[in-house]
Amino acid sequence: MNSALGSLIDLWPALVAGAFGAFVPKRPSWWERAGVGLIAALLAMFVMWMWPGAEQQQVAGEWPHLLNVLIGLPLIGSFFILFMPRQSPRVLRGLTLGILLVDLLASLWLLQVPMSTGWHFVYVHEWIPAFGIRYHVAVDGISLWLVLLTTFITPIAAYVTFGSIKTRIKDLCFSFLFLQAAMIGAFVALDLFLFYVFWELMLIPMYLMIGVWGSQDRIKAALKFFLYTMAGSVLMLAAMLYLVYTYSQLTGEVSFSLLALNKVLLPQQAQLLCFWAFAIAFFIKVPMFPVHTWLPDAHVQAPTGGSIILAAILLKMGTYAYLRFAMGLFPWAAGTQAANLAGVAVLGGIIYGALCSWKQDDFKRLVAYSSVAHLGYVMLGLFANTHTSTQGALLQMVNHGVSTGALFLLVGVIYDRRHTREISEFGGLAKVMPVYAAVFLVVTMASVGVPGTNGFVGEFMVIMGTYTSPYLGKFHWVDAAVAAFGVILAAVYMLSVVQKVFFGPLKNPKNAHLPDLNVREGIALVPLVIMIFVIGLFPSVFLSRSSQSVSDFHTRNRLVWNESQAANPEPRLLTNDILAGSLSGSSRDELMKRLEALDGQEPGRKPDDKGSKDETLAIQEESK
Amino acid sequence: MTSIPLEYYLVVAAVIFVIGACGFLARRNALIVLMSIELMLNAVNLTLVAFNRWYASHHVGQMFTFFIIAVAAAEAAVGLAIVVALFRLKRTVRTDSVDLLKN
Amino acid sequence: MESLLSLFPNPEDNFPLIAVILGLPLMGALINGIFGKRLGPEGVRTMALSAVGGSFLASLAAFLLLYARVQQASASLSEGAAVPHVKFVWNAWRWLALETTSIDVVFAIDSLSATMMLVVTGVGGLIHLYSTGYMAGDPSYHRFFAYLNLFIFSMLVLILGDNLPILFVGWEGVGLCSYLLIGFWFEADKNASAGKKAFITNRIGDFGLLFAMAMILHTTGSLSWAGIEARAPELFNELQIWPIGVAPSWLPAFLTSPVVVNYATLIGLALFLGCAGKSAQIPLYVWLPDAMAGPTPVSALIHAATMVTAGVYLVARMSFVFVLSPTAMMVVAGVGAFTALFAATIGLVQHDIKKVLAYSTVSQLGFMFMGVGVGAFASGMFHVVTHAFFKACLFLGAGSVIHAMHARIHDTDASQDMRNMGGLRKYMPKTYWTYMAATAAIIGLPLTAGFFSKDDILFRAFVNRIQPSGLLKDLAIRNAVQKAGAPLSDEAREAVVQGLHIPEWFSTAVFVVGVTAAILTAFYMLRTVFLTFFGDFRGWRIVPGWKNDDHDHDHHASHAHDEPIDGPVPHESPWAMWVPLVVLAFFALFAGWVNAGPFHLTAFSHWLEPSMQSGLKMVTTIKQGDELTHLEHLLLIPGVLAFLIGSGAAYWVYYVKKGEPARQAAQSAGGLYRLVLDKWRIDELYEATVLGAFHSLAETAALFDKWVIDGVLARLTTIVIQSFGSLFRAFQTGRVQMYAAVMVVGLFATGAYLLTAHGEVVVTKDEAGGMYIVEAAPGLGYKYRWDRDGDGVWDNPQLEQDETWTLLQKVQVQVPPGQETKVRVEVQNAFKMTKIREIVLRRPLPDKSRPDPVGMNVPIEVMP
Amino acid sequence: MINAIVEQGLFYVSALLAVAGALGTVASKSAIRSAMSLLATIVGIAGLYLTLSAQLLAAIQILVYAGAIVVLFVFVIMLLGGQVQPNQDKRTSSSRAIGAGLFALSAILAAVLVARAGLGGPHLFDPPRIEFGSVSELGRVMFTDGVIAFELIGVLLTTAIVGVMAVARTRHAKTNAKSKEVGP
C-alpha cells in the first residue's frame, strides 16, 4: 500500500497542475474543465518525465532534450489545441503560430553546434525494452538541414493557410502541429521502430488536410495518397522485422536501433530483397517514376498550406529515408542496383516528369510534375553515391523545398482570387499584378535553375557528381548528359506557363481587377525569396555543415562494400575491426575512432549522482 | 449393468445429435429449431455420462451434464422469450422472414 | 599612374576595384528595379547612366593599371622570353566545395577580359545614353534601365569570372536579361514568345556548357582557367560514346563497333554547342532574328555588341582546350564560315531594316568564329571589338530612323520596313553620315576598322595550321595498334599522324567562303543605305507644319501605296541619340589602326597574346618571316576586290537603276526568292522536326501517365478489390440457418482433413557429405512404411516382428555424388487411411566453377 | 441374470424411445406433436442415464427438462395460438430430398469410417462402485471442486430470468417519442 501512496506523492506536481487546469476555464460544463485539467496533468508529467533524471551523454553546448522539445512541443500543443474552445479562432491561430515560431527558434540552436563526426543532441530513453525499442533521437549533418527546413516551412505554410481557410480552424491547427511533430520526429529518429511510427503518423494530418479542406474530389485523392504510402511502408515493416530477427539470431539480443542493425551483413539474395522492400517504400514517397501518380492528384486537391508542406517536406522524407535507411543498411545492394535505378531516376523522373508537366493545363498538376522532375535530380544524386552528388542531392532537397514551396504558395495566391487552377483562365496578369509577376518570375528562375539562385547549385553538384560516379558503370556520362538535358525541359515548361499566365494581352475580363499581393502573402514570400538567393550565392554555408557526415557515411559504405564483395551465404555481423580490416597504425586508429563515433557511444546507465544533476540543471537554466 | 458396451451409447447419442442438427438446419419454424437445439444438448449430455461411466473414478462427466442442463434451461427460456417478442412484432415465427442482418 | 599603382599595393592577389566595376551596375539595377517608380524618369536616368559610367571609368582605370603593370613586367624581362600573363585577382567568397576541388567566387582581369570589359562598359554606356532618348515616354521606363544595368552586370561577371562556373553564372544571367529585354513589351504575344524562344535556345547551348563542365571536372579535376590549363594533358583520356552500356550481341557488328572519342574533342564540341547557342551560329541562330522584337537599343547592346560575342570570348578564353583537338577547331571554323555565308544570303532580301542588321550580325559572328576556329584568336577578338563599334552604330542609326518613322507610323513592323523609307538623307543628316561611316567599316572600305579586322581574319584563315600535340599522336597510335592488334609499320604510323591534321583544302575553302560572304555583306549593307537614305521618301506625303491632332482619322497607317497618308517632316533625333552615333562612327572608322596587320601595327595582338599563350603554341603558319608579310600583302587584293564588287553591284542595282533589276530578279526566280525571303524556312523545319517531336512526346507522356500508369496502378486495383467484395457479399443472406449451414460445411471440411492421412516429407540435405535425412510429418496414431532404395519393396531399417508398419518417422539415406535415389514412404492414420509419398534425392556433382559474386569490382581505395 | 435382461431391455426401450422422439420432434407438422415427441426423447434419455447408473441426473433430467423446459415450450405454443402452424415450406420437395440424401450419405460414410477404425472391439463397462452416481457422491463433488461453477450457474439463471423479462415485456409501459409501438 505504501508504495502506491509513495508514487502518489511523487506525482504531486501533476495533481496540482491537474487541479489548477480544472479551474481555469470559466465554462460551466464539467467535462471541459476535466479535459483541460487532464491535459495540464499530462503536461506536468511530461515535464517531470523529461526532467534530466536519466543520465544523458553530456556534450558541451548540446542540451540533450532539444530534440524532445522540437518534437514534444508541437505534439503537446496539438492536443492542447483540441481542448481549446472552437469559437475563438484567433486564439487558436495565435497559439499555433506561437508554438511553430518557438520551435523555429529552438531549432536554430542546432546551428551553433559544428556537425563533427558522429551524432549530436543524442537522447536515448527506453521505450519497449522487451523488443529493444528505444526512443533514440539524434541529429547529424545529413538530417540537420531537413529539420531546419521543416521548422522553416511549416510556419510559413500555416501563416498563409490561415489567410485563406476560414472553416474548422481547430482541426487545421491540430493538423499543422501534429504534422510538424511527426515530420521532425521522422527526420531525427535513429530507431527503426520509432522512425516507422513517425512515418505513419505523418499520414494522418496530411490525409486530414487533403480530405477536409481540399477541392472537388478530395476524398479520392486523400485516400489514394494514404493507400500508396501505406502499401509501401508495410513492405518496409516486413524487411525491418526480418532484419531485427537476423540481428537477434546473430547477437542474441533484440534491438531496433539503426546503429546496431547496420552492422548486419545479409547474404546477397536476402540483402537485395530487403533493400528492394525498403527502397520501394521510399520510392513511393519520393515519388519515383512508376509510382508517382498519387502526387498530382494529392496536390491538385490539397489546400495551399497542405500543398506547400506536402511538396516542401513530405517528399523529402522519401529521399532522406532512402539515404539514411536503404543505403545505410544495405550499401552493397544499393551499390549494385544504382546503375538501373539511376536510369529510372533520369528517364522516368527528370525527362518524363518535365514532359508531363509541359502538357498539363492545371497549374498545380504542372507544378506537381515539376517536383517529380526536381526529385529525379535528388534521387540521381543519391544513386550516384559520390561525395559531391550526395551533397548536391541534400542541397537540392532543401532547394526544392524552398522553390516549389514558394511556387505552390504563388499558385495558391491566384487560386484564392479566381478559385480556378486552369492556366487558360489567366493571361496578361503582369500588367494587373506587377509585384506578383516579379516574384513569380524570380521563383521560376529558381525552379528552372538559373545560376545565382538555389536551383542551379543543387543540379550543378548532382550533375558533376553523377559524371564521376563509379557506381553507374558505363552509363555515368549518359546519365549526366540527360540530366543536363533536363535543364532545358525545365526552362521549356516553366517559361511556357509563365508566358500563358503573365504575358500576352489581357483576354479574360475577370482578371482585370485582381488585387496584387496582400501583406500576409508578402510576409510569407519574403523569407522564401531571401532563402533562394542566400542558398544560391552562399551554398558553402550549408554544404560545410553536412560534408563531414556525408564523407563519414560514404567511408562506412565503402568499407561495407569492400567487405561484402566476398560471397557470404550466411548473415554476418560486421564489427568495426572487421571493417577496419587491412588498415594498420595511425590510420586504423583514426578510422576506428570515426566508426565508434558513428555508432554513437551508448549513453552509460550510470546512476545519476549529485554532480551531474546540478550540472544539467545549470544548463537548463541558461538555455531558458 | 455391464452387458451393454460403450459404443452403443455413443451411436445413440450420435444419431440423436444428427437428427437435432438436421432439425435445426431444415426446419423453418423457430420453435422446432429451439427444440432441435435441446435435442443436440441432450445427445451431448448422454455422451458425457457414457464416458463418465467408462472412467468411473470421478464424476466430472455427470457434473458437467448437470451444468449443461442448467444452461439449456436458461437458453430455452431466453430463446422462447425472443420468439414471443418476434411473433408479437412480425406475426410469424418463420425464421427466413427474419433477415435484418442482410442489408 | 603611379598614384593609382600605390593605391592598390598588390593587385595580383586582391584588387577591390573589380568589386566597384561589378557593384555599380548591380546597385543601379537593384535601385532602379525596386525604387524606379518613385525616382521618376530623371532619377532613373541619372542612376543608370552614373552606374554604367562609373563602371566604365573604373574599368578604364583598371585597364591602364594593367597596362602599366604589363609594361613594368615586360621591361624587366630578358629578350625573347614570353610576356608574363599578368592577372589582377579579387577573391570574393567560397562558393561551393566539391570532392576534388572547391569553386570560389573569384574575378580576374587579364588582357583579354580587360579589353572586353572596356567594350562592354564603353559601348554599353553609349547605348544607355542613347536609350534615355529612345525610350523617353515609355511607361515602364525604370524597368527597362533596371534590366539594362542587370545585363551589364551579368556580362561583366561573364567576362571577369576566373573559373567556368562563375562564367556560367554570367552566361545564364545575360540569357535571362535578354529574355526580359526581348519580351520587354510583353503585352504583345509575339514579343513574349520571341523572348521565350531566345531563352530556350540559349538554354540548349547552356546544356552543352554544363556537360562540358562535367567532363572537364572529371578529367582535370578543376574548373578554373589555371587549373584546367595545368592539367590539360589529362584531356587525352578517352570515352566510349557508342555503344552505351553493354550492347546486345544480336546487333550487327557495325552497330556495336565501339566509337571512342578523346575528351579534348568532346569538351571542345560541347563548349562550341554552348557558344553556338549564345552567339547564334548555324544550328541555334534562329532566336537572333526574332529577338529584334525587343527595343532597338537592346538589339544594339545585346544582339550586336556584347552578349552574342560571349561565345567568341569563351573560345578565346578556352583556346588551350580547343587547340588540343584539331577536329574541334575544324568544326568551329567550318560552322563559322558556313554561317557567315548562309546568313549573308538571307540578309540580301529582307525588307525589315532590323532583320537585315540581325542577319548581318549572324554573318559577322560567323567571321569571328572563322577567325578563332583557325587559331587566330587575337584577330577574332579584334573583329569582336570593331564589330561592336560599327554594328552598334548601325543598329542605333536604324533606331533613330525608326524613331523618326514612329512620328507617323506606329505599327512596329511597318515603321521598320525599308519600303516605307527612302530619301532620309535630306531630313536626317547626322544619322545619315554616321550610318554611312559604319557601313563603310562593315563592308570593308580600305583603312577602316572593319577592313583591317576582316582581312586579318581572311589572311589568318589562309595561312594558319593547327599542329596536333605529341600526346594526341601517341593516343592515336596506341588506338591504331590496339585495333590492328600488331605493331604498326612506319608508313602506317605516318598515315595515322597525318590523319590527325586538318586537310589542306579546308583552309582555302574557308578563305573562299569568307571572301564570298564579304561580297554579299558589301551588297546588302549598301542596299539598306540606298533604300533608306537615297531616292525619295515613300513613307507618307510630307506636309510641312503638319500637326498630329487634325489628321488622326486614318490611324491604321498601312504602307499600302494606294492612298498615301500625309505626315510631318521626318525630324532628326535629339542630341542624346546622335552623340553616341558620332562617337561610335569615329571608332568604326579609326579603331582599325590598333591592329593594322599590313602596316605592321599589331599592338592589339601583342596586348592579347599573353592570355592565350598555351593556345598559340599549337598554331603555326605555312610561311614564316618576310614571306609571310609578302603573302599578307598579296591576300589584301581579294579583300579589296570583294569590297569593290559588292558595293559596285549594289550601287548599280539600287542607285543607278533604282532597284529595278532586283524586282525583275525577284519575279524571275519567284520560288527561290520566296524561299530566301522566308529565311530558307529553317524555323518551319525546326517546328516540324525537333519541336514537333517533343510536343508529341510530351502529349504521349501525359496521356500515358494518365491512362496507363494511373490506370494500372490505381484503377485496376480498385476494380479487382471491388469484384472480390461483391463475390463475398453474396454469402451474407441474413438468415441464421444459412450461417449455420456454412458452419456445418466448414465442420465437414476440417473433419475430412483430420480423417485423411498426411505425413508430408521434409528432406534436410548436406550435399557435401551426401547424407540426406528424410523425415515424414508426425500425426495421431500414425504408422509408417519405408522403401529406401525405391525398388518397390518396403525395406524398413529395423523390421519389427509381426507387422510391417513401424513408428519410425525419420530415415537416413546415403547418396553417392552425381546420382539420385528415390525414397518412398507409406503413412497410415488412426482410421486406417493410407497415403504414399515419393521423393527423389538428387546430389549434384561438386562444380568448381562457382561464379564470382554479383557486382562490379569497383576500384575503391579505403578512405582513411 | 434377470437384472441383466431387465437392464438390456431398459436400454433398448429407452434408446428406441429417444430416437423415435427425436425424429418426431424434427419431422412432425404441428408444434404440439413435436413438443410431445421432445418429451418422449427426454424420458428416453433419462432411462439411458439410469442404465449408466447416473440416478441423480436421470431425476434431474425428468425434473428440469421434462417438467420445466418442455412445459415452457408447450406454454409458448399455446400462447402463440393457431398461427404457429407454419404454412407449407416453400422449398420444393426436390431440395428437401437432396438434403436428406446428402445427410444419409454422410451418415453412412461416418459409420463406415468408425467401423474401419475398430478401435479394439466392444468396451464393456466393469461393475460400478456402489456410490457411483449417487446423490451424496455427486453432491460432495459438486460442492468441493465445482463450487464456483455452481455459483456461476446461479448467476446465469438469474440473468436469464431478467433477460426474459426485458425481452418479452410489452412495450407500452414506456411510451417515449421515437419508438413506434407495435403489438397488443
C409-443 tens-digit pLDDT: 888 788 888 888 888 888 888 889 999 999 999 99
Which chain D residues have a beta carbon less than 8 Å from that of C832? 116-117
Measured between CA atoms, how close is B97 to chain C, in angstroms? Answer: 8
The reported pLDDT for the residue numbered C673 is 86
The reported pLDDT for the residue numbered C628 is 84
Around A503, how many Cα atoms within 13 Å sit in the side-chain half-sphere?
Answer: 22
Measured between CA atoms, how close is B56 to chain C, in angstroms? Answer: 25
Measured between CA atoms, how close is A353 to chain C, in angstroms? Answer: 9
**What is each CA distance from C182 to C149, C395, C406, in whole angstroms?**
15, 15, 19
* % residues pLDDT > 90 (chain C): 31
Closest residue in C to A567 (Cα–Cα):
C853
Closest residue in A to C699 (Cα–Cα):
A359
The reported pLDDT for the residue numbered C480 is 83
Does pLDDT of D81 surpass 80? no
Which residues, given as ranges, of chain A have pLDDT below 50? 1, 53-54, 602-624
Residue B1: inside a domain? no
Residue B100: inside a domain? no
When computed from its CA atoms, the radius of gyration of chain C, rounded to whole angstroms, is: 40
Sign of CA dihedral A475, A481, A482, A486: positive
- Which CATH number belongs to the domain containing residue B60 in this structure? 1.10.287.3510
Q: At A601, is the secondary structure helix, strand, or coil?
A: coil
Lowest-confidence segment of A379-388, A535-544, C250-259, C398-407 by average pLDDT: C250-259
The reported pLDDT for the residue numbered C536 is 82
**Separation between Cα atoms, residue A94 and residue A100, nearest integer Å:** 10
Interface of D with B in 146-165 (CB under 8 A): 146, 149, 153, 156-157, 159-161, 163-164
The residues facing A125 across adjacent strands are A135
Measured between CA atoms, how close is D138 to chain C, in angstroms? Answer: 34
Q: Does residue C213 belong to the interface with chain A, where contact is any CB pair within 8 Å?
A: yes
Q: Does residue D36 belong to the interface with chain B, where contact is any CB pair within 8 Å?
A: no
Residue entry with cell 597596362:
C67
Q: Residue range C573-577: average pLDDT?
A: 85
Q: Does residue C733 belong to the interface with chain B, where contact is any CB pair within 8 Å?
A: yes
Which chain C residues have a beta carbon less than 8 Å from that of D116? 831-832
Residue B102: inside a domain? no
Q: Which three cell numbers stand for residue C330?
A: 575544324
Q: What angle do CA C264, C267, C269 make, to 5 degrees?
A: 105
The reported pLDDT for the residue numbered C835 is 84
A140-149, C600-609, C739-748, D166-175: which is most confident:
A140-149
Q: Say which of C94, C196, C697 has its CB closest to residue A540.
A: C94
Does pLDDT of C792 surpass 80? no
**Separation between Cα atoms, residue D29 and residue B31, nearest integer Å:** 12
The reported pLDDT for the residue numbered C534 is 86
The reported pLDDT for the residue numbered A267 is 86
Sheet of strand C783-787, all strands in order from the earlier edge strand to the far edge: C783-787, C820-828, C834-842
**Separation between Cα atoms, residue C387 and residue A181, nearest integer Å:** 63
Q: Say which of A292, A335, A386 has its CB closest to residue C99.
A: A386
Per the CB < 8 A criterion, the answer to whether C301 and C148 are in contact is: yes
**Separation between Cα atoms, residue A204 and residue A177, nearest integer Å:** 12
> Is the CB of C713 less than 8 angstroms away from the CB of A293?
yes
CA end-to-end span of chain D, whole Å? 62
Which chain D residues have a beta carbon less than 8 Å from that of C831? 113, 116-117
Q: Which is more confidently placed, C376 or C799? A: C376
Element of type H or E holding A394: helix A387-418
Tell me the pLDDT of chain D averaged across its residues: 79
Among A261, A528, A498, A516, smallest CA distance to A399 is for A528
Among A424, A460, A464, A546, the strongest candidate for a mutation testing the C interface, having the largest count of C CBs within 10 A, is A464
D18-75 tens-digit pLDDT: 999 999 988 888 888 889 999 999 999 999 998 888 888 899 999 988 888 899 999 9
The reported pLDDT for the residue numbered A307 is 92
> Is the CB of B33 less than 8 angstroms away from the CB of C732?
no
Pairing between β-strand C566-567 and β-strand C541-542 as defined by DSSP bridges: parallel
C278-309 tens-digit pLDDT: 999 988 999 999 998 888 999 888 888 888 88
The reported pLDDT for the residue numbered C1 is 63
> Which range of residues forms the domain containing residue B87?
6-95
Lowest-confidence segment of A245-254, C321-330, C767-776 by average pLDDT: C767-776
Measured between CA atoms, how close is B65 to chain D, in angstroms? Answer: 8
Measured between CA atoms, how close is D130 to chain B, in angstroms? Answer: 11
Measured between CA atoms, how close is A428 to chain C, in angstroms? Answer: 7
Does pLDDT of C864 surpass 60? no
Residue B52: inside a domain? yes
Residue B84: inside a domain? yes
Alpha helices in C679-735 (DSSP H): 682-686, 692-703, 710, 717-729
> Which residues, in sequence order, are CB contacts of C618 under 8 Å at separation 6+?
C323, C324, C375, C466, C467, C469
Closest residue in B to C743 (Cα–Cα):
B25
Number of B–D residue contacts, CB under 8 Å: 222
Per the CB < 8 A criterion, the answer to whether C815 and C821 are in contact is: yes
> Is the CB of B33 less than 8 angstroms away from the CB of C737?
yes
> Is the CB of A355 less than 8 angstroms away from the CB of C694?
yes
Per the CB < 8 A criterion, the answer to whether C125 and C145 are in contact is: no
The reported pLDDT for the residue numbered C863 is 36
Closest residue in C to A366 (Cα–Cα):
C702
Which chain C residues have a beta carbon less than 8 Å from that of D98? none
C189-215 tens-digit pLDDT: 889 999 999 999 999 999 999 999 999
Output the CA torsion A482→A488→A490→A494 (10° steps). Answer: -170
> Is the CB of C831 less than 8 angstroms away from the CB of D116?
yes
The residues facing C145 across adjacent strands are none
Which chain B residues have a beta carbon less than 8 Å from that of C733? 99, 102
A425-429, C79-83, D93-97: which is most confident:
A425-429
Among A375, A370, A396, A368, smallest CA distance to A306 is for A368
**Separation between Cα atoms, residue B49 and residue B44, nearest integer Å:** 9
When computed from its CA atoms, the radius of gyration of chain A, rounded to whole angstroms, is: 25
Q: Does residue B95 belong to the interface with chain C, where contact is any CB pair within 8 Å?
A: yes
> Which residues, in sequence order, are CB contacts of A490 under 8 Å at separation 6+?
A354, A370, A373, A447, A448, A449
For chain A, how many residues are written? Answer: 624
Alpha helices in C544-602 (DSSP H): 575-590
Per the CB < 8 A criterion, the answer to whether A122 and A64 are in contact is: yes
Among D28, D53, D57, D123, the strongest candidate for a mutation testing the B interface, having the largest count of B CBs within 10 A, is D57
**Separation between Cα atoms, residue A455 and residue A452, nearest integer Å:** 9
Measured between CA atoms, how close is D117 to chain C, in angstroms? Answer: 5
Among B31, B44, B75, the strongest candidate for a mutation testing the D interface, having the largest count of D CBs within 10 A, is B31
**Separation between Cα atoms, residue C385 and residue C441, nearest integer Å:** 12
Q: What is the ipTM of this complex?
A: 0.75
Query: Band of the pLDDT at D179, cuts 50, 70, 90?
Result: very low
> Is the CB of C832 less than 8 angstroms away from the CB of D106?
no
Q: At C128, is the secondary structure helix, strand, or coil?
A: helix
* % residues pLDDT > 70 (chain C): 94
A316-345 tens-digit pLDDT: 999 999 999 999 999 999 999 998 999 999
**Separation between Cα atoms, residue C69 and residue C111, nearest integer Å:** 11
Sign of CA dihedral A386, A389, A395, A400: negative
Contacts of A440-445 with CB under 8 Å at 24 or more apart are A440/A410, A440/A498, A440/A501, A440/A502, A441/A498, A441/A502, A442/A529, A442/A532, A443/A403, A443/A406, A443/A407, A443/A410, A443/A528, A443/A529, A443/A532, A444/A407, A444/A494, A444/A495, A444/A498, A445/C176
- Structural domains in chain D, CATH included, are 1-81 (1.20.120.1200)
Lowest-confidence segment of B68-72, C547-551, C576-580, D39-43 by average pLDDT: C547-551
Residue B21: inside a domain? yes
Closest residue in D to C828 (Cα–Cα):
D117
Q: Does residue B24 belong to the interface with chain C, where contact is any CB pair within 8 Å?
A: yes
**Separation between Cα atoms, residue A209 and residue A299, nearest integer Å:** 11
Measured between CA atoms, how close is B1 to chain C, in angstroms? Answer: 30
Q: Which three cell numbers stand for residue B22?
A: 438436421
Per the CB < 8 A criterion, the answer to whether A367 and A360 are in contact is: no
Element of type H or E holding A352: helix A352-358
Measured between CA atoms, how close is D128 to chain B, in angstroms? Answer: 7
Among C36, C294, C291, smallest CA distance to C185 is for C294
Q: Does residue B34 belong to the interface with chain C, where contact is any CB pair within 8 Å?
A: no
> Is the CB of B70 less than 8 angstroms away from the CB of D64?
yes
> Which residues, in sequence order, are CB contacts of A461 under 8 Å at separation 6+?
A381, A388, A389, A391, A392, A395, A396, C96, C98
> Is the CB of D117 less than 8 angstroms away from the CB of C832?
yes
Q: What region, left, alpha or beta, does residue C138 occupy, with left being phi > 0 and alpha being psi -120 to 50 degrees? A: beta
Which chain A residues have a beta carbon less than 8 Å from that of C173? 450-452
Q: At C266, is the secondary structure helix, strand, or coil?
A: helix
Longest Cα–Cα distance of chain B, Å, equals 57
Q: Does residue C552 belong to the interface with chain A, where contact is any CB pair within 8 Å?
A: no
Residue B11: inside a domain? yes
**Separation between Cα atoms, residue C830 and residue C815, nearest integer Å:** 33
Per the CB < 8 A criterion, the answer to whether C345 and C676 are in contact is: yes
> Is the CB of A355 less than 8 angstroms away from the CB of C211?
no
Query: Band of the pLDDT at C583, cuts 50, 70, 90?
Result: very high
Q: Which is more confidently placed, C154 or D129? A: C154
Peptide bond into A267 cis (omega under 30): no
Per the CB < 8 A criterion, the answer to whether C77 and C135 are in contact is: no
Residue B61: inside a domain? yes
Per the CB < 8 A criterion, the answer to whether B93 and D86 are in contact is: yes
Q: Does residue D8 belong to the interface with chain C, where contact is any CB pair within 8 Å?
A: no
- Looking at the structure of chain B, the number of domains it has is 1
Amino acid symbol at C828:
Q
Measured between CA atoms, how close is A374 to chain C, in angstroms? Answer: 16
Closest residue in C to A227 (Cα–Cα):
C714
Per the CB < 8 A criterion, the answer to whether A103 and A95 are in contact is: no
Tell me the pLDDT of chain C averaged across its residues: 85
Which chain C residues have a beta carbon less than 8 Å from that of B96? 735, 737
> Is the CB of D113 less than 8 angstroms away from the CB of C755?
yes
The reported pLDDT for the residue numbered C151 is 94
In this complex, which chains have at least 3 CB pairs below 8 Å with chain D?
A: B, C
Which chain B residues have a beta carbon less than 8 Å from that of D182? 88-89
The reported pLDDT for the residue numbered C697 is 94
